[in-house]
Amino acid sequence: MDSTELEAPGKETITDMNGDEPKPGDLIEIFRNVYEHWAVYVGEGYVVHLLGPDGSLSSSSTINLPIGKNNVLKQKLLEVVSTDEWTINNLHDQEKQPRPPEVIVNEAHKLVGTTRSYNVVNYNCEHFATELRYGNAESEQVEEAVKVTLGVTGLSITVGVVIVAFLLWKTQRSSSN
């Protein structure tokens, strides 16, 4: 028997919705009802994550406490996931060099049991996870929401300007007749 045939007794294989098995340091994206929750896989079936915005792990969570202090927890991945779908998503690996897995895992373990300021826009669970993996806190969820908001706002302003211009033109036309 060679070493590839040796399996730790009782070791369960955990795979994401694509059939991939996470490795220490991987980012885990969990699809909740209205947002994505993020965690860092630290091995042996565990993740470290910044507790969600409402202090709950439930998939029915909604974002109702966007600012405050939340706990950094180490929990079984499958407990955090619950019945939601999840995937390994090392989203910035193409443009950024991830830190070595042992650095990510060691730093994650040091943070377990601490509290972190939580702000849905400036520092959420995705910021926490990307900061551990890349050394820089980023949130694509927030960036996308800002782009959509700016787009809607820009469109609203444009439509408003067109309506005002039309009303002014119509008023001016009526008064000159």
Active-site residues, by number, are 37, 49, 125
**DSSP-based three-state secondary structure for 13:** coil
According to CATH, what is the number of the domain 3-137? 3.90.1720.10
Token pair for 140: 């694509």
Q: pLDDT at position 64, please?
A: 41
- Burial class of 54 by CB neighbour count within 10 A (0 to 12, 13 to 18, 19+): middle
Least confident window among 41-50, 79-88, 155-164: 155-164
69: confidence class by pLDDT, cuts 50, 70, 90: confident
Given a cut of 70, is residue 45 above it in pLDDT? Answer: yes
Residue 23 to residue 55: CA distance in whole angstroms = 26
Tell me the per-residue pLDDT of 108-157, one tens digit each, with 9 for 90 and over: 999 999 998 888 888 899 999 999 999 999 988 655 644 444 444 454 55
Residue 64 to residue 33: CA distance in whole angstroms = 13
Encoded amino acid at 124, one letter: N
Residue 16 to residue 164: CA distance in whole angstroms = 52
| DSSP-assigned letters across all residues of 27-90 | EEEEE-SSSEEEEEEEETTEEEEEPPTTS---TT------EEEEEEEEEEHHHHHTTS-EEE--
pTM reported for the whole predicted model: 0.71
Q: pLDDT at position 65, please?
A: 44
- Domain spans of the chain? 3-137, 139-177
Token pair for 97: 């060099």
